[in-house]
Structure 1
Amino acid sequence: MAATTSFAHNDIHLIRAYSPDIIQRTWANNRVEWGPTLDEETYYAREKVLASQEFTRDNKLQVWILVPKTFDSANPQLDLILSAVETFERPGIVASKGEGLKDVLSISVASVFTPVPYRGRGYASLMMKLLWKEIGNMKDVSFSFLYSDVGPTFYGRLGWTPKRSEEIIIATTPTITGGNTPVEMVTDSNLSELIAADAEQVRIQLKAQIETARPRSLPSLLRSQPVSAGCMLALVKLDQQITELGARQGKSFVLWFHDLLKDQLFVIRWHLDPSEGDETARTLIKAAQEEANKWKLSKVVIWNAEQSLADLLKVETKYRDSAIPSLGLVNSTIETDNVEWVHNEKYSWC
């Protein structure tokens, strides 16, 4: 059947993909978007590595495909994959005045892709509507999130409401003045310990924040867990030359990712302990600048940084029109505008 064949929406449905052949076909389709500089073999190898990590295996990563109802998964006609999307099961925390801290599941959504011949027929919209229903039926899931590269409207009308999307951009030259005290580099040998300690501190901070909030002023806080040791170590495995994943000083630290294609070192997690001041902040930013320079990257990017950091570095806070954080509360009567997404920072594919 030709790829230009059109299907009525009531003749297609969303199903889980289990077959390696089907999953690999979704990679072949989306490589033009997320791996245009890689040959097929390298791209498949990368996806297989990322799909076999602690944060993705055991059904934490799920691939969904929109196909005609006549589609036979046992004997698939691969050119009839009309659209595809991936979901990831992540730990999350919801904090509220009445219930305190609650550990929940969250679902992050990624790799929404429709092959060019099937675009303009409403397939992606239908797929996301059906996916929202699937997420609503998942046990113990409290919220879902994604990062939109198609503006705030498309996903906003499908359940994922746009949230704060600011960034600061720091040039790598000249390096900032000050910040000359030594730092400890974060590598795969101490990453897990650092992330575990950070997760515990986040819980303490959330508990204190919700307990001191005035009634109705902060109905609910939530935090997804985009940063994980498994995620970061998987990225290291993809390029063994990258060994330094961040820097720490005292109780403060920064974790970063080398985005070579976009010429930037982007900060995945930034934590400045309240007991440590401007000099520590300068030290960590300088470490990031030096890492970016080592890899000949022109800038360091931080999402949703505190205004005090932008003021300290004398840089402008800008709004993004891509990678817009979008949040959906699952089976909830609370409006997303009444929820603060805590530590909504930038992270890579994982």
Structure 2
Amino acid sequence: MSERAPAPFALEDIHLIQAHSPETIQRTWANNKHEWGKTIDTETYYARERHLASQGFASQGKLKFWILVPTTFSPEHPDLDLILSAVETYDRPGMVATKEYGVNDVLAISIASVFTPVQYRGHGYASHMMKLLWKEIEAMDIVAFTSLYSDVGPKFYGRLGWTPMRSDELVIPTSHQVTQAESIVVESVTDNDLLELIKRDAQLVRGSLQARLDESSVSSPSTVLVVVTPEPNCIQWLHARSRYVAQHILKLDQHEITTLGAKDPNSDSFVLWNHDLLKHKLVIIRWRLDSEAGDATARALIGAAQREAEKWRLSSVVVWNPEQPLADLLGLNVDSREKSIPSLGLTSPAFKADNVEWILNEKYAWC
């Protein structure tokens, strides 16, 4: 068995900095393309990343690029071969609810695209980078929590401070028969509907958090309820990804994605979805079933999703972390995911807790 080669740089000789130059940022994309853009030509991959970075969810400084580099690295004259590891962060709105402080609007950060080039792996650089990133976020003193989605299991990020959360999914084949009631007719959700729909959704989420605090089940001051606030920008960013794939990667004749979900005109019930065309599935990114709505409404919303999936020749509809009654209603099993494991880290000392619940642990929060 061969011995591992010595680390090219000691941990005390490297640090984490923000990358600002287009040249450096593009190099991080060139590095991670080997993992996330295997089937895409290089220029198309760069164009997609630039397109996504221009969206409202990522623009105006909300998207930040971080690189782990030797302390001798010069941002003005960078040696791009010395990017040891990289990560991206997105500033986004969140809510935190506690018995002591009530419901608060907070700043949250989503963490994505953690990547170490092959030649620098095995030396603890990614772990070191994430520790340094945690310190950077804590030093901001304005971020309540961070979230990420692990593709390397629960342990790696768990030991660094991010607690793995529920990671189940319900897979509904497009061909699965779902009984529809003629009395329930749902309407399509389009881009023009998002602002009003999500604004109302966020109001209802706030109310449900307050109701939870008023319940005896959240009597302990050490219980924290955390929500990544639903907002149009994150929904539009997800659709920008799928629309780019349809038009520029798959180059489909039918590439105009116009239906983003379905809603019940008689209640606050709705479903929002996203077209994962490369993996041949329609993913439910936000599911709301009004407390007064019944099984017929749930079936109608799922039926609308199945029809959209069929329209795009997708094999299934996938729901992340569904409530068990939905699975029971459809006669299907809920299974565990091994990829995209939601992980949460509380970074504000005001909200340290023994018991943390991630409310609305759904796909809209992914990036």
Report the counterpart of residue 325 of structure 1 in structure 2. 342
Report the counterpart of residue 259 of structure 2 in structure 1. 244
**Contact 2:170 2:322 (C-alpha < 8 Å) held by counterparts:** yes
Give a deviation string over 1:267-326, Cα, whole Å, max 9, x none: 110000001110000000011111111111111111111111111011111111211111
Report the counterpart of residue 213 of structure 1 in structure 2. 216
Determine which of 296, 313, 322 is the counterpart of 1:279.
296
Give a deviation string over 1:159-212, Cα, whole Å, max 9, x none: 101111111111110331224432211111111111111111111111111112
Report the CA distance between 1:347 and its aligned residue.
Answer: 3.4
Counterpart code for 1:224: V
Q: Any idea what SS the aligned residue of 1:244 has?
A: coil
Report the CA distance between 1:232 and its aligned residue.
Answer: 2.9
Report the counterpart of residue 35 of structure 2 in structure 1. 33
**Contact 1:107 1:144 (C-alpha < 8 Å) held by counterparts:** yes
TM-score norm. by structure 2 comes to 0.90
- Structure 2: distance between partners of 1:109 and 1:329: 13
Q: Which segments of 5 or more consecutive residues in structure 2 lack a partner in the other structure?
A: 1-5, 247-254
**Contact 1:210 1:218 (C-alpha < 8 Å) held by counterparts:** no
Report the counterpart of residue 228 of structure 2 in structure 1. 224
Report the CA distance between 1:231 and its aligned residue.
Answer: 3.0
Q: Any idea what SS the aligned residue of 1:189 has?
A: helix
Q: Any idea what SS the aligned residue of 2:40 has?
A: coil
Give a deviation string over 1:30-76, Cα, whole Å, max 9, x none: 11222222212211121112112222112111100001111111011
Determine which of 137, 141, 144 is the counterpart of 2:143.
141
Report the counterpart of residue 249 of structure 2 in structure 1. none
Which has the higher mean CA deviation after the structures are superposed, 44-53 or 278-287?
Answer: 44-53
**Contact 1:175 1:289 (C-alpha < 8 Å) held by counterparts:** no
- Structure 2: distance between partners of 1:321 and 1:336: 27
- Structure 2: distance between partners of 1:11 and 1:338: 37
Report the counterpart of residue 189 of structure 1 in structure 2. 192
Report the counterpart of residue 250 of structure 2 in structure 1. none
Report the CA distance between 1:246 and its aligned residue.
Answer: 0.7
- Structure 2: distance between partners of 1:191 and 1:131: 33
Which has the higher mean CA deviation after the structures are superposed, 174-183 or 113-122?
Answer: 174-183
Which has the higher mean CA deviation after the structures are superposed, 241-250 or 150-159?
Answer: 241-250
Counterpart code for 1:255: L
- Structure 2: distance between partners of 1:255 and 1:171: 17
Count of aligned pairs between the two proteins: 346
Determine which of 118, 123, 144 is the counterpart of 2:125.
123
TM-score norm. by structure 1 comes to 0.94
Report the counterpart of residue 263 of structure 1 in structure 2. 280
Report the CA distance between 1:332 and its aligned residue.
Answer: 2.9
Give a deviation string over 1:69-112, Cα, whole Å, max 9, x none: 11111011111111100011111111111221111111110000
Root-mean-square deviation (Å): 1.8
Report the counterpart of residue 177 of structure 1 in structure 2. 179
- Structure 1: distance between partners of 2:224 and 2:132: 27
- Structure 2: distance between partners of 1:278 and 1:218: 36
Report the counterpart of residue 109 of structure 2 in structure 1. 107
**Contact 1:179 1:284 (C-alpha < 8 Å) held by counterparts:** no
**Contact 2:228 2:365 (C-alpha < 8 Å) held by counterparts:** no
- Structure 2: distance between partners of 1:305 and 1:272: 11
